[in-house]
Structure 1
Amino acid sequence: MEQHRVTLQLRAKGSFHTSKSRGQSGLTLVELLVALVISLVIALAAVSSLIVSRRGLTTVDAAAQLGDNARFASALLLRLGAQAGFRDVEYAATPRSNNTVGLAGAGAANPDVSGVNNAYPSATDPYNSSTAWRTSSVGYGSDILILRHQAVETFPGSGRSDMTMIDCSGTPSTTVPVDRDDRMVSVLYVDVSQGEPSLMCSTGPSTAQPIISGVENFQVLYGVAGVTPNTAPTATPVAPNVADRYLRADQMVVAGNTAATNANWSRVRSLRIGMVLRGAEGSTQQKEAQTFYPLGLAKASVTGTAGSAMSSARDDPGTIFTSPADTRLRQAVTFTIQLRNKEGL
C-alpha cells in the first residue's frame, strides 16, 4: 500500500514537470534574427521617406524663393525702365534745339539708356569704365545696364523733390534737378564678390550693393527703331516709336563717334531682359548640368538653333547658359520693358 502511494506521487510529479516544460517554449534565435531584420527594414524605409520628404520641402522652399526673387527683379526693372528718360516738366516741355550739340564734348549728356555687353563695371568709375568677363568666371556673359532719369519737383520753384522717383537701391531722390542733364543714375550688373553671384546696384563710385542674390546670368538686348549695327543713324525711322530689331550694347557703338553712338542710344524703345537665378546648394535632389536660354528658346527659323530668335543671340556670350552639374535649383526669367526714351530731350 505504501509503495503504491509512492508510485502515484512520482507519477504526479513527473506529469507536473512535463506540463511545466511545455509552457516555457519561446522564439528561436532564427526567429529573433528575422524579426530584427524586418524591424530594421521598416526603420530604414521610414528614415528614407523622411529624408525624401525633407528634400522635397527644401526644393519647394527653394522654388518659392526663386519665384519671389524673379518677381522682385522684374518689378524693380520694370519700374526703373518706366522711369528711364523721364524729365521734370520744366525740361520735358523744352526739348533740345539740336540733339547732337555738346554730346562729344566736356559735360556731354550721357544717354538715358545705355549699357555694356559681357562686362562688369569698374568700382571707381561704374558709368564709363568696365572689364570683360573671363570665360571661366561665374557670371560670364552677363551685361551692364545703365538707366538715367530726373527727380520730380513738388511744384515749379519749390526747390523740393516729391520723392516719387527711386534709384535701383530703392532710394528716392531728395533733391531737384538743376538742369536737363542732372539725373539719377542706376547701374545694374552681376558681381561675385558677395560669395554668391548677385545682381548689383550702383548709383556712383563705391556705392555698389547686392539687391538680388543668386543671379548667375543677366542679359540685356535693346529694341531699337531705325538703328543699323555700329553705324551712325541717318533718316528718321518709319515707325519711330516701335522697335524693329534687338541689338547688343556693343552693336550700338559707332567707333570714334560719341555723338552718333549717343544718337543710337536715344533710339532704344524697349529692353529685353533675361536672367538665370539659382538656389542654395542642395536645393534640388538631382545633380546634373542644365541648359537655359535667358532670352527665350525660340528659333530664328525652322532650321535655326534654339535661342536664336533674337538677332544677336547667336554670338552673344551668356545667351545660352549651361550650368555646372550641382544640386542647385535654377530658374530662367525673361521679360520685355517698354521705355519712354525719346530723341531730342
Structure 2
Amino acid sequence: MQTSSLGTSDLQVTPLTLGTMTFGKEADEATSHALLDAYVAAGGNVIDTADVYSAGLSEEIIGRWLKGSGKRDDVLIATKARFAMAKGGPRGLHPDYLRGAIEDNLRRLDIDTIDLFQPHAFDPNVPVAEWLGLIKEFVDQGKIRHLGVSNFLSYQLQQTLDVAKYEGLPTVVSLQPQYNLLDRHIDYEVMDVCKNHNIPLLPWSPLGGGWLSGKYERDSVPTGATRLGEDPSRGVEAYDKRNTERTFAILDVVKDIAADHGASMAQVSLAWLIQHPQVGSVILGARTTEQLADNLGAAQVELSTEQWERLEDVSRPHTPDYPYGFVDTMGGR
C-alpha cells in the first residue's frame, strides 16, 4: 500500500487503517495478534484503538504485540479517550480526568508517544482551551505527536479549530466520523468544515456494520455469528433502522459494480471511500484474518469515474427541507 500525508501533519498513512474494537471481545488475543501480523504484512501502517475498547484490553493486546514483534517504528498508533471506562465512572475532557486517561493510554499500549490522540467526542461542559491546553502539555513532553478528533459536530470542530488558532494551541489534523455509503449525514455540514481546513476523514464503520458486504437480506432478521446476528438492534446499524428500500437500492449498485470487477461487495464499498477526495484512511474492523484479507483487497479495486459517481448518486442523503432545502429554493447556493 502506498502512503500519503494526513492533512497538514507529517504523518504518512496507508489508505487502510486497522481498527481494533474487536480485540479482546470478538477476537481473542491470538487472533488479534494474527490480524496485526496480517495487516502489517500487507503494508498497512496505522492501528486505531481506544481506551473503552474491551475496557482497555484492546490497547493492552496491541501493547504486547508491539513489544513482541518489534514493530513500533513501523506503525502509527492512534487512540482515543473521553468516555467512562466503567458504568457510572468518570469521563469527559476536563484536564483533571483527561490527564490520567492519556497516561493510561500510554501505559496500556506500553509506548512513549501516541502518534494521533483523538478525543472520542466533544465535551460541552469543558471550555475547548482547557483540554487543548492539556494536549499542548503532552505534545511539548513528546507524549503526543498530533491531535485528531472523533464524532465532532460541525460547530464543535470549527470551535476547536478557532480556539487552537487564536490561542496558539495544537490544531486538529483529522476527523474520525461514521461515514459509509449508507450513512453520509456528515455531508450536510461537517464535510464543508473539513474541506475548508484540509482535515481528512478516518471513517469508522465503513461497511455499515456489515450491511455493505451484502450479508443481510430484505425482511430476514440476521442470526448467527455476525454483528447483527448476535444483536439485531445493535447501534446505528440496527436491522430495523437499515432494512429500507434506500439501503437495498445502494446494495444493488454495489453488487453490480462488484460483478464488473470480480470483487466482493465489501471491497467495492471500501474502494469508494478510498477514492473519496476527503478520506485520508479507512478504518477496517475484522473478527477474522479471512475478513481482513478480503477487506485489504479493496486497495486493489480501482473504480472508474462513472462507477464512483454511480455510488455517489445512489447514496446521496436526502436533504431536509429546512434549513438546507429552504436555502436552495431561495437561490442561496
Same fold per superposition (TM over 0.5): no
Larger Rg: 1
Greater percentage in helix: 2
Which range, TM-score by smaller chain?
under 0.3
Question: TM-score, normalising length from structure 2?
Answer: 0.23
Greater percentage in strand: 1
